[in-house]
Amino acid sequence: MAETDVDLVILGGGSGGYACALRAAELGMSVALIDKDKLGGTCLHRGCIPTKALLHAGEVADQTRESEQFGVKAALEGIDAPAVRKYQEGVVSRLYKGLQGLVKSRGIQFVEGEGRLASPTSVQVGDTTYRGKHVVLATGSVPRTLPGLEVDGSRVVFSDHALQLDRVPASVVVLGGGVIGVEFASIWRSFGAEVTVVEMLPHLVPLEDEASSKLLERAFRRRGIKQELGARFSGVEHTDGGVRVSLEGGKTIDAELLLVAVGRGPVSQDLGYEEAGVTLDRGFVKVDEYCQTNVPTISAVGDLIPSPQLAHVGFGEGILVAERLAGLSVVPIDYAGVPRVTYCEPEVASVGLTEAQAAEKHGADGIKTLTYDLAGNGKSQILKTAGAVKLVAAKDGPVLGVHLVGSRVGELLAEAQLIYNWEALPSEVAQLIHAHPTQSEAVGEAHLALAGKPLHVHG
């Protein structure tokens, strides 16, 4: 048995793991970064990046299909699925090579192999033990299914399988109306498929403000995306043409594919975590506000812990752990202050508290809200997008939440994040002059109205 000694051993090379490795190396630590798969993890290879490439291809298809409304004559001849996949894989490949070079330049030892926590200070990969002063667990998550629902990768698929398709399915049922479900629904509809989203809760993207969910549902109906809301899945059977999906109550939907998008679960089983004394809860590793487990020499970050399953959350947690281990002063992450974007068409973006959360925290009489319709925004009219900016604020106090729906509104979250995290008053934001014509004006106009001096707002 060979042994390698370093300051820090990280098990998992996804967003949280590699961010921790990069920051730790910057701070002078020797690092071994271990992953059984490619550096970059789910986000780079099977998540954020490839799906957003597909969404952009879908946007190009929609713009071509609808070009005459802008006075441009163009015809959409069809979707070349292999060419779309080549474009998608090219984006991933370039980012992957860049990340590999970055990790190498920092002197980080990347180990490709199946690692297992061997003790509170070591990870074993094959015949080699990597021992450190501290271990960071960052083994991420995988798609979940429902009891009795078998995913065969052919007719019943996860998002991982969907990214490898060499064709555009004629029809799809998407089981789950969360982020992954609505993004794939948007992609396939843009590519010309008939799509039905089945969600057991009353609204799509149920973690968002209800007003945002309703705007998305309306937009999806206009796009021809069917929705079965408050509907429970009861079964699926194979047919000559694909699958027949059954819902409680007796309704059935025939389609070529069923995409199972009911969430992702942590990868923690049979990796030695419990044997080393790490406390788990429903598979998630339990940590404190500094991502420290109950074992002093072990921390955990990313989808493995019960924080928002977002790549940029993993980045933040990885950096926090590296800086804490280096003895720097660190501040716990305010997860409500992390920006959230669903990249369907239209996009849904938010930061801070929903109206319901704010009312629960401050009382219904302790908050005020304002909705600014994008119909009053020049750039949104140019883009021909509908949607709104909704603000939630404390009465006579700071902005508590910013919620946006519309094409490209995810780009507006940078300012919204600062407004929430710096506890800005509506009157303070109203003093800022936004460039015209931009969609960012919609954020400014909403704050002007909430501050009592509306500009392009009726009433």
Q: Is the dihedral of CA 287, 292, 295, 300 positive or negative?
A: positive
Q: Does the active-site annotation cover 161?
A: no
pLDDT at residue 196 above 80? yes
Give the list of residues 6+ apart from residue 422 with CB closer than 8 angstroms, or none. none
279 with 204, same domain: the answer is no
455 assigned to some structural domain: no
Do 164 and 131 reside in the same domain of the chain? no
Active-site annotation holder among 436, 447, 456, 458 = 436
At residue 459 the predicted structure's pLDDT band, cuts being 50, 70 and 90, is low
Give first-to-last CA distance, the chain, whole Å. Answer: 76
Q: Using DSSP, state whether 454 is helix, strand or coil.
A: coil
Tell me: do 122 and 215 sit in the same domain.
no
Mean pLDDT over residues 154-182, rounded?
A: 97
Percent of the chain with pLDDT over 90: 99
Tell me, yes or no, whether 332 lies in a domain. no
Average pLDDT value for the chain: 97
User: Which stretch of DSSP H or E encloses residue 394?
Assistant: strand 388-394
Asked whether the predicted pLDDT for residue 457 surpasses 90, the reply is no
Instruction: State whether 132 and 52 are in the same domain.
Output: yes
Based on the fold, state whether residues 24 and 58 are members of the same structural domain: yes
Tell me the C-alpha distance between 405 and 205, whole Å: 12
pLDDT at 438 over 70: yes
134 and 274 part of one domain: yes
Question: Over 90: is that where the pLDDT of 114 sits?
Answer: yes
- Tens digits of residue pLDDT in 47-90: 999 999 999 999 999 999 999 999 999 999 999 999 999 999 99
Q: Is 253 contained in some domain?
A: yes
459 assigned to some structural domain: no
pLDDT at 91: 98
- Residue whose pair of structure tokens reads 């441009």 in the numeric block: 72
Shared-domain flag, residues 11 and 48: yes
Share of the chain above pLDDT 70, in %: 100
At 458 the pLDDT is 73
* Domain-ending residue, one of 243, 262, 281: 262
Count the domains in the chain. 3
User: Whole-model pTM?
Assistant: 0.96
Residues 387 and 288 in one domain: no
Does 100 share its domain with 234?
no
Q: Based on the domain organization, do 280 and 212 belong to the same domain?
A: no
Q: Are residues 7 and 133 in the same domain?
A: yes
Domain annotation covers residue 216 = yes
Q: What is the CATH number of the domain that holds 95?
A: 3.50.50.60
**Joined tokens for residue 378:** 């020049």
Average pLDDT, integer, range 224-248? 97
On whether residue 337 sits in a domain, the answer given is no
Q: Residue 425 — very low, low, confident or very high, per pLDDT cuts 50/70/90?
A: very high
Domain holding 271, by residue range, is: 2-142+265-325
